[in-house]
Amino acid sequence: MDRLKGQAALVTGASSGIGKATAIALAREGAKVVVNHPVAVTAKDADAVVNEINNDGGTAIALQADVSKENEVQAMFAEMVKQFGTIDVLVNNAGLQRDAAFKDMTLEQWKFVLDVNLTGQFLCAREAVREFLRRGFQPYSKSLGKIICMSSVHEVIPWAGHVNYAASKGGVMLFMKSIAQELAPMKIRVNSIGPGAIKTPINRSAWESPEALKSLLTLIPYERVGEPSDIGNAAVWLASDESEYVTGTTLFVDGGMTLYPGFATGG
């Protein structure tokens, strides 16, 4: 229950889906949580997450910032430090899809996905690292700071019709590993979670109808769609000292989706 007691966590894109579940899971372990959301219209959803955490005995605040904008990210970190004193755990979760056949994909669709999914992770991680270094070690954690990047099974599985998204997640993989290598001597740990198909608004069409669900399950050896809490639980472990010797790795939480399910019977 208290694995993150005394620590301050920021979860980007926490007004819905995986981010929401992660914010709730971290708060249950005693972390004070910033529930980031991107724009004015998502404020209501973010407030609902904050209320859920506070009503449950936790501590949370909502902060709006578009993670792809340097000035907004810097203002969010400044406000977090003002309210919570520092940051100990960053969950770089904000991400989106803008799908299109490759020949029809617009530059706008390409850039939007790369800006949020990859540049957003860079901007937030850089601010977090600056604050970890300023703050110094604290008695409540063996590491100076922890960064968890929300990647995807599509950091390794190519995805037709989603080239911008797969490229962004492939980018997240080497972004994460490279900063993990650079920051390990400073005792900053950086890891990714690679979710498979998790029941959230981003992929509703893939699990909502019985036909879609049946086809999706052929890609999941464990034969169930993931729940957002499956990812929240993994994030708690990666944020806690239980994983102190783990850095630079992607933990796939995917029911076996990365196990080449087609080869279970073929080949």
Any idea which residues carry the catalytic annotation?
165
Q: Which of 230, 155, 149 is closest to 188 using CA atoms?
A: 149
Binding site for ligand BGC (CB under 6 A): 97, 152-154, 196-197, 202-203, 206
The smaller minimum CB distance to ligand BGC, of residues 43 and 219, is found at 219
Cβ–Cβ under 8 Å, residues 24 and 104: no
For residue 164, the minimal CB distance to ligand BGC (Å) is 12
For residue 112, the minimal CB distance to ligand BGC (Å) is 15
Torsion of CA 262, 263, 266, 267, to 10 degrees: 130
For residue 149, the minimal CB distance to ligand BGC (Å) is 13
For residue 24, the minimal CB distance to ligand BGC (Å) is 20
Residue 178's identity, in one-letter code, is S
> Structure tokens of 203?
């992929």
CA distance 175 to 223: 31
DSSP E strand stretches across the chain: 8-11, 32-37, 59-64, 89-92, 145-150, 188-195, 250-253
Burial string for 110-127 (b: 16+ CB within 10 Å, else e) reads bebbbbbbbbbbbbbbeb
For residue 119, the minimal CB distance to ligand BGC (Å) is 18
The smaller minimum CB distance to ligand BGC, of residues 125 and 197, is found at 197
The smaller minimum CB distance to ligand BGC, of residues 205 and 265, is found at 205
Question: Strand pairing of 32-37 and 59-64?
Answer: parallel
Cβ–Cβ under 8 Å, residues 33 and 62: no
CA distance 129 to 141: 15
Q: What angle do CA 120, 125, 128 make, to 5 degrees?
A: 130
